[in-house]
Structure 1
Amino acid sequence: MGSRAGNALAKVLGIKLPEPGETEELLREESVLSTGSFAEEPPTSAEWLRELVPDRTACVNYVTSLFPFVNWVGYYNLKWFTGDLVAGITVGAVVVPQGMAYAILANLASEFGLYSSFMGVIIYCSDAPLRPVAVLSTVVGNIVARTRDQFPQYEPHHIASAVAIVSGSIVLFIGLVRLGWMIDIIPLTSLPAFMTGSAITIPVGQIPSMMGMTEFPTREAPYLVIINIPKHLGDSKIDAAMGLTALSLLYVIRAACSYAARRWPARQWTFFFLSTLRTAFVIMLYTMISWLVNRTRRGDPLFKILGEVPRGFQDAGVPKIDTTLIRSFASDLPATVIVLVIKHIPISKSFGRVNNYTIDPSQEFVAIGVTNVLAPFLGGYPSTVSFSRTAIKSKAGVRTPFAGVITCIVVLLAIHALTSVFFYIPNASLSAVIIHTVGDLITPPDTVYRFWLVSPLEVFMFFLGVLVTVFSSIKDDIYATRILRGRGRFLGKVKIHSVIGDHIIGEDHREILGKYGTFDADARKTAARNVFLPIDHGDGSNPQVEVDNPYPGIFIYRFLEGFNYPNAAHSLEYLCEYIFKRTHRTDMETHEKLGDPSKAAAERHAAEGRPTLKAVTLDFSSVNNIDITSVQRLIDVRNQLDRYAAPDVVDWHFACINNRWTKRALAAAGFGYRTVHETNADQRHPPRRRKSIFSVAEIGGSDSAAAMAEKEEGRIDRITDAIFDDGRGGVSAAGGRDAYGEQMEAIVQRKGVAVAGVNRPLFHVDLTNALQSAIANVEAREGEDMEEGKMPSP
């Protein structure tokens, strides 16, 4: 019925449809192997829609993903709780002073930083906890100051709450509709440019507060503030003593702990905690000094202090928001949304790679959105992830997101029990904490140099972003530095023949094959050849053709839509996901975290019958240029898979690279060369031998191997005939083949040259050569393992 209606509609609209029997008749006329014929069906709109509509399993997984605690709560144990307790308390001691300091950056009272810190963990537990951060607080502070100038009737915390609700709603919507992959639109260079620019502008804005200067505005363009600071150095007050000494002490403690950790490695854990708690120690020290100085002059302190901090959640309630307020900061929403996610996703992904799990960007968007939508009901303002606190949490021994609940308790105690102490905190010391915290965000010159090796053009983009930040604002830096989503296919090996008429080309050894685009050679060697097809037949190839895996533990991955920053993350996440499902960890007894053995038995059972990961081959035939983001993603995945395959290493082979700049970028990242693998940690044994397989071609001209072979055509023909007609020619097949092979080997040895550079042995001209090289090295390693008395990996 639908087909008839469609045909009738096509007639009305004048659409010419193909004749019904056209395809079948074509097959009858052209196919010589009718029983094995195959007609590729064109894709239909219904098929496309079916792929978009989720099934029941996808719907269940979607709902489950909104509550990530279900993935780990069933495994929770006492060892995990111990690690979470230590990490939660440690982070809480850092969050309290930093939260109050960052609230000042946002033009808010200090208690609002504590409210935001509390809501970031009580609403949603994630591995990368949400807190107020310096950069986002600066953006919010600029919005508050500008809106207050236009609409003085709005209180600062009302403006900040409105920004949190609107921007959080946008991010939440993006996450719920699973569009989190859009974060990949932002290239890698924009993040270090953004952080470097922020690391310059934020301290510049805090220097006047640290020095007690109040004669000029600090919300102007950073370069104007830089110009005004030397002009007003003479206006510095006693606050400078509380600020400069606090800043110096922070750096001295960090340097001393770093030196002590190297000097006494057995106690590095102790020095790590001392270094981590330096912020809390300095604030406590200078608060005590301030109390000694100002306890008898609360109404007229000698230097600026924090002042009254209300106890409890005094500003809890329904946020005040209206259309006029939203219109006042609508132009700043894109920048605010980008700042919310530009750090969160990279930080979450980096710790996911370290701990061997995959981050879902859309789920992280949901976490950011929920936190920022609900936080204003307790007085919070926009929050996102802080790399420093996430790193502290990870290094302190965190086991699960439950550590965030411990941190929440610490913050809650501070809000209710320590507010009277906060009264005496010097403002200059808080400015010193901000300067010290963001000072490490500057991208080091070595990183910029590596950017230059990979992509010189993007280095100019990096400096452009930094300059825009210094001469304009942080949000303009984001805009100055901004194929979307795609993934590749895994390939398998298929042996094929070429057919013409009723004959398979090469079946008759006497037939000359050159006229069909092949080479004149031994016909029996060219009758079949290997090609590489997608294992899922996603290219439309015949699904009846069985595609073989290249080799146990070796994977061939072809990029379909280039390999650049917008699609690099998604392509490589699919690569890792596919490999993890079809291999198992080399050392199943390795547990990176205490308590992990509770899941080890299940993992071992699921891994039965799977090989270990040995090599990855990337087909770059569709890749022309790569950038810093894609190369960095590739480096991250290489490190992740090396940890997965430890103590072995994973070989990375590249085939069909068509651009010299692409080879340069990959080589700068350490690809294309052999991975040196030692047999044990102390390196008493020599590194493993590696086999190099290169593609060799003949030099053209009158002296080429082909020309020399043509001169001896008669004798070679006789040898060849003898190989196949041993009874008539009287020459043994083995002897003829040996004579033929020795002669041709001598010719090729004299005139053969490598097609690709031998200095980069893991860059191959085609997939066949790449697979041969990968298999040769795997078998060589297994042979050495057997010689050393170790069983090769399955």
Structure 2
Amino acid sequence: MLSIRNVYSSQQTLCSGRFSQYGLYSAFMGGFIYTLLGTSKDVTLGPTAIMSLLCFSVVGGQPHRAVLLSLLCGVIQAGMALLRLGFLLDFISYPVIKGFTCAAAVTIGFGQVKNILGIRDVPHQFFLEVYYTFHKIPEARVGDVVLGLVCLALLIALMFIKSHPGSDHGSSVYSRFARKLVWAVATMRNALVVVAATLVAFSWDAFGHHVFTITGHTTQGLPPFSPPPTSDTTSNGTVVSFREIVEDFGGGLAVIPLMGLLESIAIAKAFASQNSYRIDANQELLAIGVTNIMGSFVSAYPVTGSFGRTAVNSQTGVCTPAGGIVTSVIVLLSLAFLMPAFYYIPKASLAAVIICAVAPMVDYRVVMKMWKIRRLDLLPFGVTFLLSFWEVQYGIISGVAVSGALLLYAMARPKMKVSDHGVLVIELSSGLSFPAVEHLSHIIHTQALQTCPPRSVVLDCHHVSIIDYTVISELTDLLRQFKLRKVKLMFSGLQPAVLKVLLAADLQGFRYTDSVEEALQTESASLFGD
């Protein structure tokens, strides 16, 4: 049922309402493929508003080109998986994920308010959506409002009942049976509420009272299994070749596969964290890529992880990726036989289900935790959260960029503990790589070489596990500077791999000891000997 709802939240953008069946064509392949290849029990692959908007910006109102775009995106994504490039997605930090999920939950939840109110012609862009939703409140339909609020109340009540089951101790057999029955009803609350709302809408419609906004008609029939078109013909009969179509796709051929991956992986990581399991990024890439490749053979356009449906999956209590098979079978049955049965589903009831599903993802507690633990993490969180209201892809990319900048800054300015033991001891608290070498050199120059008289230095390197050529080059210059000033630069606590590199570099004047104490004793003996 929720798959039917996808058509109206996203595919109208792609196909201008004329080819909404393409949304259903895109909704079933992911369930089968992800069951075999996916690693998240919650994620549902399918059409989303974001991907629909991106595809529309590339192909316009030409769904046959969107099908070819699905094939090309799938090849790119599967290629990334085979090249084991999933590690690139490790740069999506937890604050970015939480910023994205909170913004997505607010965006999707508020996007359903128009369906609760029964108002139409509201833009999809968030800020315009907010404005027009409030502007059109006087146009709200009483039937949709009442039905939507009743569905919300029922869902919240059933959700509360499931989360507060009560004790079985000292209860009779009938009490335990009643409790299990209530638990089963609470677990199936989404489907039961939608079915009940559909019966209500059908009953009113049968008596000629059209008081609810319903799902309505969608083209029936299964799509043919055939390869996507590799050429096109314009209205004046001109044949457009495959190369020309790809050129028309332009930068979209890079942006759409990347955004599909970012959105799906961000969703998978968010729900994996919430439900205490792990995902395999490379396997996720492969699942998305194969889904888009196979989907192109059934007239689907590019898909990704759907936040709203994934949230519903999680709230319903799905245990394995095989839950996608149920969704896919329902979509196929809907296309083949059941479209008349879904005709009367009220949009208000589906909106209530989605709102209840995404509401728990607005995690305000995470902001307080970041404030207490590391306030700097609020920066990528805030950037992702705020920009995601504009465009989700900009929010995720900006958040990743801010997180990367913070990471690079930490690498370039590692913490160094400087202590005076007669000889200056500098303890490097983290690794030493080329972004940090200038900072280290500056500290050594200002606190040892440029003082009067110059001072010897012991570098405590027991935290350093890697070293590169830039560092070797700078150390060569530092050793030369120390020699000119007739003081020493000594190394202590070198790990075997680092020591091997330094010895291979054949540094003039290179001295090392096993510990700082040994270095201090060596320097003291040298001074005493002098």
Q: TM-score, normalised by structure 1?
A: 0.43
8 A contact 1:196–1:442 mirrored in 2: yes
Q: Paired residue for 1:549?
A: none
**When the two structures are aligned, how many residues end up with a matched partner?**
381
Deviations 1:506-531 (A, max 9, x none): xxxxxxxxxxx9xxxxxxxxxxxxxx
Cα distance, 1:451–1:362 mapped onto 2, change above 3 Å: same
Residue number in structure 1 paired with 2:148: 243
Deviations, residues 467-512 of structure 1 (Å, cap 9, x unaligned): 2223x22121112200999xxxxxxxxxxxxxxxxxxxxxxxxxxx
Taking a change above 3 Å as real, the CA distance of residues 280 and 454 of structure 1, as seen in their structure-2 partners, is: same
Aligned to 1:44: none
Contact 1:250–1:279 (8 Å) recurs in 2? yes
- Alignment match of 1:474 (pick from 383, 388, 392): 392
Matches within 5 A, 1:435-474: 435-443=355-363, 445-470=364-389, 472-474=390-392
What's the offset of the Cα at 1:455? 1.7
Does structure 2 conserve the Cα–Cα contact (< 8 Å) formed by 1:167 and 1:337? no
- In the alignment, structure 1 residue 384 sits paired with structure 2 residue 305: yes
Tell me how far 1:464 sits from its aligned partner.
2.2
Pair 1:327-2:169 in alignment: no
Which secondary structure state, in structure 1, belongs to the residue aligned with residue 216 of structure 2? coil
Are the counterparts in 2 of residues 101 and 113 from structure 1 also a CA contact under 8 Å?
no
Partner of 1:226: 130
Pick aligned residue for 1:313 from 215, 222, 231: 222
2:68·2:228 contact (CA, 8 Å) conserved in 1?
Answer: yes
Distance 1:385 1:204 in 2: 16
2:463 corresponds to which of 609, 621, 630: 621
The C-alpha deviation readout for 1:150-206, integer Å capped at 9, x for no partner, is x44x14xx4654553333322211101111111111111111101111111222233
Residue type of the alignment partner of 1:143: L
Quick one: distance in 2 between partners of 1:396 and 1:227?
36
Provide the C-alpha distance between the structure 2 equivalents of 1:620 and 1:112, rounded to a whole number of angstroms: 60
Residues 703-760 of structure 1, C-alpha deviations (whole Å, 9 max, x = no match): xxxxxxxxxxxxxxxxxxxxxxxxxxxxxxxxxxxxxxxxxxxxxxxxxxxxxxxxxx
Partner of 1:341, secondary structure, is: helix
**Residue of structure 1 in register with 2:3 after alignment:** 99
SS in 2 for 1:440: helix
Aligned to 1:252: 157
- Equivalent position of 1:341 in the other structure: 265
Whole-Å separation in 2 of the counterparts to 1:198 and 1:473: 10
Counterpart of 2:110 (choices 204, 226, 248) is 204
1:127 touches 1:348 (CA, 8 Å); kept in 2?
Answer: no
How far does the alpha carbon of each residue in 1:432-452 deviate from its partner, in whole angstroms, 9 at most, with x for none? 333222222212x32222222
- Mapped to 1, the partners of 2:135 and 2:327 lie a distance apart of 43
How far 1:288 moved relative to its partner?
0.7
| Mapped contact 2:265–2:281 kept (Cα < 8 A) | no
CA distance, structure 2, for counterparts of residue 348 and residue 230 of structure 1? 35
Amino acid at match of 2:399: T
Q: Distance in 1 between matches of 2:287 and 2:156?
A: 34
**Residue 192 of structure 1: aligned partner:** 98
Amino acid at match of 1:343: I
The match for 1:88 is none
Contact 1:128 1:390 in 2 (8 A): no
Q: What RMSD in Å do the two structures reach over aligned CA positions? A: 3.9
Change (3 A) 1:145 1:251: farther
Q: Distance in 2 between matches of 1:111 and 1:388?
A: 24
User: Is the CA contact 1:250–1:278 (under 8 Å) kept in the aligned structure 2?
Assistant: yes
Give a deviation string over 1:110-146, Cα, whole Å, max 9, x none: 655554443123234134365246xx71202323554
CA shift for structure 1 position 425: 1.0
* Equivalent residue runs for 1:344-355 within 5 Å: 344=268, 347=271, 354=277
Opposite residue 250 of structure 1, the aligned amino acid is L
Counterpart of 2:115 in structure 1: which amino acid? S
> Which AA in structure 2 matches 1:457?
L
Judged with a 3 Å threshold, the aligned counterparts in structure 2 of structure 1 residues 468 and 396 are, in CA distance, closer, same or farther, namely closer
Question: Equivalents in 1 of 2:58, 2:115: separation in Å?
Answer: 22
**Residue 279 of structure 1 pairs with residue 179 of structure 2:** no
Alignment of 1:148-163 (within 5 A): 151-152=60-61, 154-155=62-63, 158=64, 161-163=67-69
2:502 equivalent in structure 1: none
CA shift in 2, pair 1:350/1:438, >3 Å: closer
Separation (CA, whole Å) in 2 of partners of 1:240 and 1:191: 33
The residue identity in structure 1 corresponding to 2:268 is: H
Judge conservation of contact 2:86–2:282 (CA < 8 Å) in 1: yes
Matched to 2:376, the amino acid is: L
Contact 2:260-2:304 within 8 A present in 1 as well: no
Alpha-carbon separation, structure 1, partners of 2:462 and 2:139: 62
2:343 aligns with 423
Q: 1:303 maps to what in 2?
A: 212
Contact 2:86 2:281 in 1 (8 A): yes
Q: Which moved more, 1:311-320 or 1:183-192?
A: 311-320
Which structure has more helix as a fraction of its residues? 2
Structure 2 vs 1, CA of residues 269 and 316 (structure 1 numbering), >3 Å: closer, same or farther?
farther
How far 1:622 sits from its partner (Å)? Answer: 4.5
Question: Aligned partners of 1:120 and 1:146: how far apart in 2?
Answer: 23
Q: What stretches of structure 1 of length at least 5 have no aligned partner?
A: 1-96, 486-516, 518-557, 563-618, 624-655, 657-696, 698-794
Percent identical pairs in the alignment equals: 22
Pair 101,291 (structure 1): closer, same or farther in 2 beyond 3 Å = same
Q: Deviations over 1:214-263 (max 9, x none)?
A: 25x3223x23322332222111124333333323322222123323x145
5+ residue gaps, structure 2, are 13-18, 170-175, 231-244, 408-422, 424-428, 434-460, 466-492, 494-516, 518-530
Tell me the equivalent position of 2:29. 119
Cα deviation for residue 453 of structure 1 reads 2.5
Judge conservation of contact 2:260–2:305 (CA < 8 Å) in 1. no
Distance 1:99 1:332 in 2: 25
Indicate whether 1:373 and 2:286 are aligned: no
Measured against aligned partners, the alpha-carbon deviations of 1:396-436 in whole angstroms (never above 9, x if no partner) come to 665xx666556654554444443221011122322333322
Asked whether the 8 Å contact 2:315–2:357 carries over to 1, the reply is: no
Specify which of 36, 50, 64 is matched with residue 139 of structure 1.
Answer: 50
Alignment of 1:443-522 (within 5 A): 443=363, 445-470=364-389, 472-482=390-400
Q: Distance in 2 between matches of 1:342 and 1:182?
A: 13
Superposition map of 1:738-753 within 5 A: none
Letter of the aligned partner of 1:467 in structure 2?
L
Distance 1:162 1:263, change over 3 A: farther
> Secondary structure of 1:621's partner?
coil
Residues 158 and 189, structure 2, Cα contact 8 Å, conserved in 1: yes
Q: Is the 8 A contact 2:22 2:299 kept in 1?
A: yes
C-alpha distance 453-438 of structure 1, shift in aligned 2 (>3 A):
same
How far apart are the structure 2 equivalents of 1:439 and 1:312?
Answer: 35
Partner of 2:205: 294
Change (3 A) 1:409 1:147: closer
Give distance in 1, aligned partners of 2:67 and 2:31.
18
Q: Which amino acid aligns with 1:326?
A: F
Which one has more relative contact order, counting CA pairs under 8 Å at least 6 apart?
2
* Contact 2:51–2:304, Cα closer than 8 Å, also in 1: no
**Paired residues of 1:168 and 1:368 also in contact (CA < 8 A):** yes
Partner deviation per Cα, 1:758-778 (whole Å, 9 max, x = no partner): xxxxxxxxxxxxxxxxxxxxx
* Residues 685-704 of structure 1 mapped to structure 2, 5 A cutoff: none
> Does the Cα contact within 8 Å between 2:101 and 2:270 map onto a contact in 1?
no
Alignment deviations for residues 646-672 of structure 1 (CA, whole Å, 9 cap, x no partner): xxxxxxxxxx9xxxxxxxxxxxxxxxx
